[in-house]
Amino acid sequence: MSINFPLLLVIAVAVCGFLALLDLVVFAPRRRAAIANYQGQTGEPDQSTLDALNKEPVLIEYGKSFFPVLAIVLVLRSFLIEPFQIPSGSMIPTLEVGDFILVNKFAYGIRLPVVDTKIIEVSDPQRGDVMVFRYPSDPNINYIKRVIGLPGDVVRYSSDKRLSINGELVPEMLIGEEPGSLGSAKLYQEKLGEVDHLIRKEMARYRIEPNREWRVPAGHYFMMGDNRDNSNDSRYWHDAAIPAEFAGMVPDRNIVGKAFAVWMSWPDPKFSNLPHFSRVGLIH
């Protein structure tokens, strides 16, 4: 079952905020009135009695305690930075399974939590950005890929595994065989826009028919993983509920944010392996 954490967080903040407000408006004045009445009836007020009269209801106490913490988490997570963990190898060698990353939530505009309506324009995704977004066929699932095609672009992937944008080959340079692959996989340095990054290709694997071409509609983006032959991305998404011209495209409303840093890695916690920080750094 998929849990809508942003919705739960908003509800928790609203409930705790309501309890805090209820105490401020209703219960706190009652407590002060009870204390004043008690002090007026006795010459030497008993401290334990005063403490009992001033005691907050348990529910109010918890609500007031959690409200500022949850409110700060909501603001940070919704408008500034949100952490994610990489669950698959689709972005190898840039990101590995178990990497914990930070995502800039305001890079592409300020959006309201839950409804995800953009209220402040900041900037648009750029070719080469590593972006987190909600999977078009199931918005409850977050994906991370690299921005390949911008609105209006024509993207082509050829039979020799070369990427072209608007009729021009994307520059790439062979780095060498992937260590441990025995020649079955090679690493290349690719340049998308102003971004230089590594990609991985498997020499004996080709998942899609050759020479496919896509035109990116307005307000949409074409996404691919850096692990080019092991990535479920825009090249493969087909959904009968989505019109053919938008198949494989990520609409602007599904954007979550720009991934910018790895802060920890923990590849296999179920086997009690310890997290490590050897991969900490900025994402390119």
At 274 the pLDDT is: 85
Threshold 0.75, pTM exceeds? yes
Residues 225-261: pLDDT tens digits? 999 999 999 999 988 888 888 999 999 999 999 999 9
Active site residues: 90, 145
| Confidence check: pLDDT of 64 > 60 | yes
Residue 270, pLDDT above cutoff 80: no
The pLDDT of residue 271 is 64
pLDDT band for 2, please (50, 70, 90 cuts).
Answer: low
What is the per-residue burial (b if ≥16 Cβ within 10 Å, else e) of 23-38? beeeeeeebeeebeee
pLDDT in tens, 14-33: 999 999 999 999 999 999 99
Predicted confidence (pLDDT) at residue 70 exceeds the cutoff of 50: yes
